[in-house]
Every structure is written in structure tokens, then in C-alpha cells.
Amino acid sequence: MPVLSAFRGRRRSRKDRPWTGSPIIRLRTAGTVYTLLTIMLGVVAVNSGNNLLYLLTALLLGYMLASGVAGRRNIMGARAALELPDEIYAGIPFEASIRVENPRSAPLHMIEVTVRLEEGEGVAPRAFFGVVPPHGAASRGVVLTLPRRGTVRVALEVSSVFPFDFFTRFAWDRNWTTALTFPTPAPDASVVAVGEAEEEGAASVGSSRSDDASDAAGVRPYQTGDPVSRVHWKITARTGKLSTRLLEGEAPVGLLIDLDGLVRDGLERGLSAAAGRILQAERESAPIGMMDRGTLFPPAPGRQNRLALLRRLALYEGAAR
């Protein structure tokens, strides 16, 4: 699972820090009113020479100073990380996890972490952490949506209004990290229509072979002539397409995606159709491969093969001319 980290700490060297300089400070409504009131009171104290007003102004300034020191120490002690799932599809919401660690001996208060996209597209989700215990950690789930396929750069923005809600302090992670986004899978993609390639050396099923469900070694799309007793009804009900059980010793049918043919009618449309067919092949437990610009990636089962094909689709830059 990819992890995007935004580390904060005073003891880190300037070269290793993901952000430089002091946290950015932004006045809030309460802080604006408080600052204006302090300035006005100070002006009145100077004009009138009233010692009580001087003391009151000094008290307000001290209160503001304490807020600044406490707020700076609080936000600089936070370490935030974003955990992303292995499979992210463009335009489809997914759940990620934001984790805030506190390496200090004092608790952290009112920490807010916002996920920012470099392009600035869409809503920036955020997670709020009321208290993070000393030498502890806390996690919150957020729903993200990446707008396009390919590599999308993501960063974290840590902020806090601690302690008096006068100011918002921001610590920005300047180390952009890339998230790989797969094409949006077409919902009505049919893997059977892509083309089937039976592996060489496939053993034909003899009439003496048992059709008992316990002998099933996998499934493949239904073919004309398959006996009804071999139909895998559970997968058929889930996918809406007839599927046939594979028996021990029977070679599976490989499904081959002709990506060159799919993208001729539109690049993004073809990539979405290919992604949908890869996911459908997974649901049917069928090996799947791809023909990409004259290069054959033979059908193979398993999750790693599926992720490898999806990565090729995510990074696809266009058919060779």
C-alpha cells in the first residue's frame, strides 16, 4: 500500500525537511476581532496615559504571544501520512487513510490534515484530529477521487487553530508524491467479445471425466456445447454471464485483449473498455492477456498479472503510428 508522508520535526536538517521556514499563519474571525481590539486599546492607553489600560493591553498582547508559541510548537510536532490503496480508478471514489503520529511527550491538539492535488481539481478532503496522545498515533478515513488516469501528484497540508482559535497555522508538505490511477472501467465491457486464445497443449475433456463440482479447478466463460451440469451458477448470478467450471487437468481458456483495436475508436474509451474487461475476467477467474502495439502479453491468472496490465493502461500514451 503506497504511503505519502509529511514529516514534521525541529531536529531534522533543512535538507531533509519537506517544508521550509515557519508555518504560514492566517487570521481567523476571532483573531481579527481580538487583534483590532488590542490595537484600539493600545492607542487609547497611549493617548490617555491610563496605567490600567496599559496593563490590560499588555495582558492581551501576552495572551496573543502565548497563543503563537503554543500553536507553533503544536503543529511542528505533527507527522502526517496518507495511505493509498493499490487500486485507484479515475473518477471513482475510494477510501484512503490519514495517519497522524505524535513523537513528542506532550499531546497534539486540533490537527487538521488536507489532501491537495497538484492540479487543484475537485474537492480537497480533510480529516480532523481533536487530540493525538503523546508518543501515539491516530487515523481517520477520507474519501478521495482522482480526476484522471496516469500519475497524479498528491501532497498533504497540515493545519491547526490551537490553542485559542485566533489563527490558523499551516505546515505545507512540498514533497509531491505520485499516485498511479487506472482508467475508469467501462461498466458494460464484455470480456468474451475480446477474443479467446486456448493455451497450447490443452487436454480435452474425456467422456469418462466426472462433472462433480468438487473437481472444479477454475471457471471460464460459457461456450456452446458445455453441459448444464458444468455451469457455475454462483458466478453466473453475480456477473450476469454464463460461466463454466474448469476441471482438474483441463487447460483454461485465456482471454486476450486487442488493445490496438480498442483504442482506434477513441483512446480513453478504448482504455476504459480494456480496464472493464480485465476486471470482468478477474470476477470470472479467467486468465487474461493483452496485445499492445504489436507486443503480446500472454494470458495469465492472478492479481499481479491483472495489476501489471492495469498499470500499462494507466501509463498508455497512445498507439504507435
Residues 211 and 150 in one domain: no
Q: Which residue has the higher pLDDT, 321 or 303?
A: 303
- Kindly state whether residues 154 and 209 are assigned to the same domain: no
- 111 vs 104: CA distance, rounded Å: 14
Which domain covers residue 235, as residue numbers? 192-314
- Residue 314 pairs with which residues in a beta bridge? none
Q: Of the residues 161, 181, 201, which one is the last residue of a structural domain? A: 181
In this predicted structure, the answer to whether residue 14 has a pLDDT above a threshold of 60 is no
* 114-166 pLDDT tens trace: 998 876 665 688 999 999 999 999 999 999 999 889 998 888 889 999 988 88
* Residues linked to residue 197 through DSSP beta bridges, in sequence order: 254
> What's the pLDDT score for residue 123?
66
**Pairing state between β 253-258 and 288-292:** parallel
Domain count, the chain: 2
Q: What pLDDT digit, counting tens, does each position of 46-99 carry?
A: 999 889 999 999 999 999 898 888 988 888 878 898 999 999 999 999 999 999
Compute the CA torsion angle 256, 259, 260, 261 (nearest 10 deg): 80
- Do 7 and 155 lie in one domain? The reply is yes
- Domain co-membership, 93 together with 176: yes
